[in-house]
Structures are given as C-alpha cells and as structure tokens.
Chain A
Amino acid sequence: MAWANEMAKLNAAVSAAFSVPATFTPQDGAGGWLAPQTISVNIVRPAMLEDLPPGFGQGTAVLRVWVNFETISPSPQHGDQITFPVGGSVYTVQEVESEADLTGGAVLKLRIN
C-alpha cells in the first residue's frame, strides 16, 4: 500500500536522523530472556521533565522513546528491558503505545530499574 510504504520510508528516515542506539533485551515467554539486540530509539518529551537529561549523572528515571516498531522483532512488550550505552542504566518497558494511525511506530514508556 502506498500509505504504508511512505510511512515506512518516513520512519526509517526519522530513525536514521535522530535516533540513539540502545540494547533491547526481550523476554522469552518462559521467564527468561532472549539475546540482547541493538535497536534505534528516539527520545521524546516525557510526562514530567526531570533534573538531568539522559547520560548526565544518574540520568532520568523515566523515559519515553519512539521506536520504529514494525522493524523490531520480537515486538517490544511490557517487562522487556532496554539499556543505554551512556551510563549503562537499565530501563523496563512499562507501557507500549502504538501509534493509532498505522504508521508502524510506537512510543515505549520506560522506567529505570
């Protein structure tokens, strides 16, 4: 479909231009973890701004990141973990909000472990 193709191109362009790398550790569905993989995330404005941006000092406790959801396999879900190279902070995916207009993107709400 033309719309889907255009959105896929837009998502890829946005991801390439503004993303930072992060390590995504999905659950295996049996109480364990699958192998970590590197994904690209775009940090977006959180619900409440904190003292420090990511990567400074202790960084932020809560993060929201946009991801090109349809390109990540397995799809992120509640309880998965995401680690950032700066500071090495590990975050848990608390909520996944898929974009409602079939853009293929989603916002992950992360909280520090």
Chain B
Amino acid sequence: MLNPKLITDAVVAQITKIPDLATAMTVLDSGGNPNVRITAFHYRLGAEHRLAEAIYKMPAPSILVAWEGTLGGNFSGYQVWKHRLGVYLRMGNAAGHTDPVGYEDLWWLLCNQAPQGTSSNLRYTNILPGLDIMDTPSIVHQLDEDQIDIFRGEFVIPEIGDN
C-alpha cells in the first residue's frame, strides 16, 4: 500500500498546477510576494492542529487537502486499496472584485481544468505511479462552526494492485 501522506502531497501538487484555481487561491503576503494557499494537512500530534481546527482556521481563500481514510477490499480484482481524501474549499472575499470566484467556479476548475503541463484534467490523471485514476469525485455543502458556507470535495483514489 502506498503511504497516504505521499498521495495527499501529490494531490496538492497537482491542484496547485491548475492555473485558474491557483490564481484564485493566491494572495500577496505582507512583503508583496504571491502565496498560493493550497496546502496538505498531515496528522502530527504536537506539531499540527487537529483536523477540525485546521479547517476552522482556513483563511479565505484557501484549499486544504487531508487524507481521511483508506478502504480495503477486492474492488475489481486488481484494486485492493481506495484512498479517501477530503478537499476543503474556502472561497475568497468577493468584495471589490468585478469577477469573483465562487464555490461553483472552484469546483468546476478542480474537476475540469488540466494541471499545467498535462492535457488531462485531474479526474483522468494518474497522480502517482501505482495510483489509478480517481473515482468520479463528489462535493457537498457544509457549514463551519460560524455557520459560514464551506464545501468539502471528496477524491477516492484506487491503487493499481498492492504497492
């Protein structure tokens, strides 16, 4: 089985290459340097927040990708592991923007715009050697602790065989 940490990081790397999505997630830091806010969450007790707090603290705009479990089974004879990743979206402040990017746009970009350097969108990309293309992704609306709209996308990515 592949290490889910590597899969999480690979998904983040691919998402960051989606041009318009990366632009929508880019802010200038205090030094005026662009900062693309697409990050991976890893479970590191003592070094990282718990997942719930990390989602709560997500700045706007930002995307957070977290591994949320692996399903084992004999899915198609050659697939025995399916890795489930949550992709949390928080859109930016639309005030002052003539062409704001909302959740509908972010999800469309995530599903349909090809990462830079590739001709296929993320749904038809082998994100790592040993990984099959993902199952058709889903997204659901959620409310955070402040009753603010956020969305959680779900990528389920099967492995090819048992690596």
Is A31's beta carbon under 8 Å from chain B?
yes
The minimal Cβ–Cβ distance linking B31 to chain A, given in whole angstroms, is: 13
Does the CB pair B59–A61 fall under 8 Å?
yes
Residues of A within 8 A of B95 (CB): 27, 78-80, 92
In the complex, which residues 47-66 of chain B have their Cβ closer than 8 Å to any Cβ of chain A? 49, 52-53, 56-60
Known: A62-B146, A111-B59, A112-B59. A92 touches B49 (CB 8 A): no
Which listed residue, B52, B57, B96, touches A31 by the CB 8 Å rule? B96
Is A88's beta carbon under 8 Å from chain B?
yes
Does the CB pair A95–B146 fall under 8 Å?
yes
Which listed residue, B30, B49, B52, B60, touches A111 by the CB 8 Å rule? B60
In the complex, which residues 26-60 of chain B have their Cβ closer than 8 Å to any Cβ of chain A? 27, 30, 49, 52-53, 56-60
Is B3's beta carbon under 8 Å from chain A?
no
The minimal Cβ–Cβ distance linking B48 to chain A, given in whole angstroms, is: 11
A-B contacts at CB below 8 angstroms, number:
56
Range for the number of chain B residues in contact with chain A: 20 to 34
Does the CB pair B146–A113 fall under 8 Å?
no
Which of B27, B93, B94, B148 has the largest number of chain A CB atoms within 10 A? B93
The answer for the CA separation of A51 and B47 in the assembled complex, in Å, is 12
Which of B49, B52, B57 has the largest number of chain A CB atoms within 10 A? B57
Which listed residue, A47, A79, A109, A111, touches B94 by the CB 8 Å rule? A79
Does the CB pair A92–B53 fall under 8 Å?
no
Does the CB pair A94–B56 fall under 8 Å?
no
Residues of A within 8 A of B52 (CB): 48
Known: A61-B57, A92-B60. A109 touches B96 (CB 8 A): no
Is A70's beta carbon under 8 Å from chain B?
no
Q: List 27 A-B contacts (CB under 8 A).
A: A27-B95, A31-B97, A46-B146, A47-B146, A48-B53, A48-B145, A50-B56, A61-B57, A61-B58, A62-B57, A62-B146, A64-B146, A79-B94, A81-B93, A92-B60, A92-B93, A92-B95, A94-B60, A95-B148, A109-B148, A111-B59, A111-B60, A111-B148, A112-B59, A113-B27, A113-B60, A113-B93
Q: 3 smallest A-B Cβ distances: which pairs?
A: A79-B95, A47-B145, A61-B57
